[in-house]
Amino acid sequence: MPRFITRRAVVVLASLVLVALLGLWGASRFNVNPTHAPGEVIDRFEGVPVYFNGAINHVDGRSLAPDGYNIGLRWQCVEFVKRYYYERHQHRMPEARGHAKAFFDAAVADGALNTARNLVQHRNGGASGPAVGDIVVFAPWLFNPYGHVAIVSRVDADAVEIVQQNPGPFGTSRERVPLATSDGRTQLGTGRVLGWLRLPAAAAASFPKL
């Protein structure tokens, strides 16, 4: 061990790392935000409520449509996205289950139909930019192996606003993600954004704008 690194410093550093990991573990399983309770409406987009979930791994049963269609686990990010598409567009996904990361299929070409979701899939960095109502798919990361999904609520020249459910106990339901266009290619945020899904043109045209 180098002379300038004492045993005590190593113990302190290891203790801090352990405390941080325990904090992240606790925050993923228990609601540490006393200002909101799981199941509380904290936002709405086009009339569809966004619910507070608290701990990111918290689940409050399963949402089902009257016809039995599986909407998702309350109040996870997938549940909001599928509920929005079901209530706003009467859209049922052929593949009714799966984590957020499963919404993006790497085998589907840019601009082609993702048959599991019955939505057109666009890759981040491709020719088509995101539009209001699209589903943005985020890749898994170190503390979230399931990925994340959200809905585009606004598009500006340099950023996209997303509306989301279950961003964490202190996360916000709205978030701005940087947007850049160069040489006919659109880049949204970082490499964590895999792409976005959109209703086929014919289906989208049948629903009025709100």
Tokens of 2: 């180098």
pLDDT at 143: 85
Question: Which one, of 64, 185, 35, lies nearest residue 124 by Cα?
Answer: 185
The residues pairing with 175 across neighbouring beta strands, listed in sequence order, are: 162
Residues in the chain where the model's pLDDT stays below 50: 17-24
Query: What residue segments make up the domains of the chain, in order of their start?
Result: 41-205
User: Looking at residue 13, what is its pLDDT?
Assistant: 64
- Report d(CA 132, CA 146) in Å as an integer: 24
- Residue located via tokens 């202190």: 170
- Can you give the pTM of this predicted structure? 0.85
Tens of pLDDT, residue by residue over 121-137, are 999 999 999 999 999 99
* Residues 49 and 41: beta-carbon distance below 8 Å: yes
CATH class belonging to 41-205: alpha beta
Tens of pLDDT, residue by residue over 161-172, are 999 999 999 999
Q: Which residues contact 172 (CB under 8 A, 6 or more apart)?
A: none
Token representation of residue 144: 């979230």
Q: Judge whether 196 and 134 are in contact, CB under 8 Å.
A: yes
Q: How many angstroms separate the Cα of 85 from the Cα of each of 57, 81, 155?
A: 23, 6, 19
Residue 19 is predicted with a pLDDT of 46
